[in-house]
Chains A and B, each alone.
Chain A
Amino acid sequence: MSAETTRFDSGSAPAGTRTGPGSDPGRGDIPQSGGAGGGSGKRPRRRGERGPLASFGLHATLLFAAVIAVFPPLWLLVTSFKPKSDTFTIALISNFTLDNYDHVLNNTKFLTWFGNSLLVVVTTTVIGVFISSTTGYALSRFRFPGMRPLMWTLLITQMFPMAVLIVPLYNLMSRYGLLNRPIALIVTYLTIAVPFCAWMMKGFFDTIPISIDESGRVDGLSPFGTFWRLIMPLARPGLAVTGFYTFVTAWAEVAYATAFMTGERHLTLAGGLQTFVNQHTQDWHLMTAAAVLIAVPATLVFGYAQRHLQSGLTAGATKA
């Protein structure tokens, strides 16, 4: 984790210095620090330098925001180590115990749910990224009849609410006896993943210079060869970011998972977590332990991938 931090530090340092002078105007955005910064300093202040009051305001605001951001997950973590009787005590630690984890792992179907989730989400991600990449490439490089309608379709299907597809998909799955099977969720998640991946991949292929394609063609590669041997290796970061987004979206999906998977053995994590706290049971202590077990791997993956998030986002967003 510390290696991660330092690497990230060195990455962001140049950006910070570059925008250093520009950071000043942003101060106007925060009244409490802006007013203080413009105050009557005795010594003329250098550009981009903050007065002590402005500095205090900045840190106080950020600290406040950071505490709010961190508190709920932190509280979940803290509570997961308390026994059932102490679940709602205010103390950070009371009667430290690992029983909750023990119970969740050994006496519930948690590991099965985890496996179900993993199977569904990984399959969705791999299929989604794989079949969308060629489309992204075609949209980025070729001009062909049907291109505009396809782009529009991709854009519109991305904003499809789950409410419009969930009933017909449910009925189709039920007709073919696929409810409670992983394949039902995989197919369903592909309806979300495919338009999204194709759109993202187009954005990434757009950033790869077309001269690379041309040199490949000059050297006698077919369009498929160019795509597969030259462009795909170059687009690997893009593939990773797209895959990551798909993974996260599918991992956190609730509606389809709740509606399509009902038997306890078939639940995914989103459905499984709901079984701890509902009309019949109020096992908050077990819920917290399960929640931590779900959140920790997700957070680790996220921490690893977040270095790419900003560039990925802006690339995806500005190209839209």
Chain B
Amino acid sequence: MAAEAVRTRLGKGARTRRTLANYWYAWAMIAPVVVVITGIIGWPLVRGIFLSLTNANEANVERQIGVNKMEATYEFVGLENYADILTDSKFWDRLGWTMVWTVSCVAITFLIGLALANMLNRTFRGRTLYRMALILPWAIPAFVSVFAWRMIFNERNGILNNLLEGQGIAGIHWLSDPTWAKAAVIAVNVWLGVPFMLIAMLGALQSIPAEHYEAAEMDGAGPWQRFWNITLPGVRSVSMTVVLLSTIWTFNMFPVIFLLTRGGPAGSTDILVTEAFRLAFIRSPRDFANSAAWGVLILLLLVLFAISYRRALRKQGEVW
């Protein structure tokens, strides 16, 4: 904020005297990042869009076999790939499940995170210990935890089914029944996501001045009223940011689904990104063109989402 003020002051007073000389520094400083972004994001992006308009696959792209270099022989096919994808029900199925997956994961994670942060945001014995235990899932690389869950969910021998059978209940096909597999991937993703929410919301809660609560209490507000009228507005701006971040992350969450179910059974847990990955790297022959087209469509969806989110925030008077 201070920076903002001074920046405008500098801008007004000295604009006439320092012109290009001033910009030169700024441009030199951003140059490395601009070069890198253009080179390794911009150029591949352009190429990706181009590939999505061709019929490139494993057999006809430019590649190196030993010392022999094979030239590219794929052809430009226009919007054919997109037309194929959008008229196929597979895309809409995956899109529907991706929406369900994203919304339920983010909503559940957010609610659990907020509830736990509220509980941790008070003084009691063992607070630090609880906090450390609760953020443990964040500390462990996701691909490791997912394997732990795969072991727990294991159908014949996993501990969950062992316990169920001990109670006389038939074991559940956690990862091979479409419905249970969906529940399982959501559960694992929530487990992975709660710590981030918890820490972010805890930070937001602690930034609410205690005086607000005291004043509300003086005025006779009950616990619920204080929660609705002070806590929720107080965590609003941080919530907006974390929900946006979390939505984008979940939408693109590759490792959980890829490592837990590989998209199965029969693609029922495949979200858009895992399907795009499967087309290019699992399926044989590898279909690069279609995968690139899926990628472009995913990007478009995300951009649309971000724009509408921003617009919704603006409408509500949020500065972001």
Contacts and interface: CB of A to CB of B under 8 A. Distances in A.
Interface of A: 5, 8-9, 12, 15-30, 34, 37-38, 47-48, 50, 55, 58-59, 61-63, 65-66, 68-70, 72-73, 75-76, 79, 87-88, 90, 131-132, 134-135, 137-147, 150, 153-154, 156-157, 159-172, 174-175, 177, 187-188, 190-191, 194-195, 198, 206, 209-211, 214, 222-224, 227, 248, 251-252, 254-255, 258-259, 269-270, 273-274, 277, 284, 287-288, 291, 294-295, 298-299, 302-303, 306, 309-311, 313-314, 317-318, 320
A140 B237 CA distance: 21
B64 A190 contact: no
B139 A318 contact: no
Contact of B254 (A170, A211, A254): A254
Contacts of A141: 3, 7
Contacts of B176: none
Contact of A22 (B3, B127, B142, B213): B213
A169 to B, nearest CB: 5
A254 B254 CA distance: 8
Given A16-B127, A69-B194, 11 more contacts: A24-B223, A25-B216, A27-B223, A47-B217, A65-B112, A65-B134, A168-B47, A172-B47, A227-B29, A294-B144, A303-B139
Interface string B187-228: 000010011000110111111101011101100011111110
A65 B33 CA distance: 42
A174 B223 contact: no
A142 B22 contact: yes
A131 B36 contact: yes
B151 A164 contact: no
Interface string B43-85: 1110110010000100001111000000000000000000000
B210 A174 contact: no
B170 interface: no
By size class, the interface of chain B is 35 or more
A188 B272 CA distance: 21
Contact of B130 (A62, A167, A206, A273): A62
A83 B237 CA distance: 51
Contact of A131 (B22, B32, B112, B242): B32
A9 B118 CA distance: 19
Given A162-B254, A210-B6, A19 B144 contact: no
Given A22-B210, A174-B64, A73 B136 contact: yes
Say whether chain A's binding surface is mostly helix, strand, loop, or mixed: helix
B136 A26 contact: no
16 contacts: A21-B210, A24-B223, A29-B227, A37-B223, A69-B195, A75-B159, A144-B22, A157-B37, A160-B299, A162-B254, A252-B141, A287-B147, A298-B139, A303-B139, A309-B199, A310-B202
A145 B24 CA distance: 10
A180 B43 CA distance: 21
B27 A146 contact: yes
Contacts of A211: 2, 6
Given A143-B11, A159-B302, A302-B139, A291 B148 contact: yes
Contacts, number: 377
A298 to B, nearest CB: 6
Contact of A25 (B37, B200, B227): B227
B99 interface: no
A135 B30 contact: yes
Given A161-B298, A168-B292, A259-B277, A73 B148 contact: yes
Interface of B: 2-3, 6-7, 10-11, 22-23, 25-27, 29-30, 32-34, 36-37, 40-41, 43-45, 47-48, 51, 56, 61-64, 112, 114-116, 118-124, 126-128, 130, 132-145, 147-152, 154, 157-159, 162-163, 191, 194-195, 199-200, 202-208, 210, 212-214, 216-217, 221-227, 230-231, 237-238, 241-242, 248, 251-252, 254-255, 258-259, 272-273, 276-277, 280-281, 288, 291-292, 294-296, 298-299, 302-303, 306, 320
The 3 A-B pairs with the shortest beta carbon distances in the complex, nearest first, are A23-B122, A25-B226, A88-B157
Given A69-B191, A187-B40, A294-B144, A317 B242 contact: yes
Central interface residue in A17, A25, A177, A251, by most chain B CB within 10 Å: A25
B151 A76 contact: yes
A319 B132 CA distance: 26
Contact of B227 (A26, A146, A164): A26
A259 B276 CA distance: 12
A90 B295 contact: no
Given A163-B294, A171-B61, A134 B30 contact: yes
A63 B129 CA distance: 10
A21 B214 contact: yes
Contacts of B258: 254-255, 258
B44 A161 contact: no
Central interface residue in A47, A88, A274, by most chain B CB within 10 Å: A88
A133 to B, nearest CB: 9
A109 B162 CA distance: 33
A25 B223 contact: yes
Given A146-B27, A168-B51, A171-B51, A153 B320 contact: no
Given A161-B298, A224-B25, A65 B116 contact: yes
A194 B114 CA distance: 31
A82 to B, nearest CB: 12
Contacts of B134: 62, 65-66, 69
A314 B238 contact: yes
Contacts of A18: 206, 210
Nearest to A21: B210
A121 B127 CA distance: 34
A248 B192 CA distance: 14
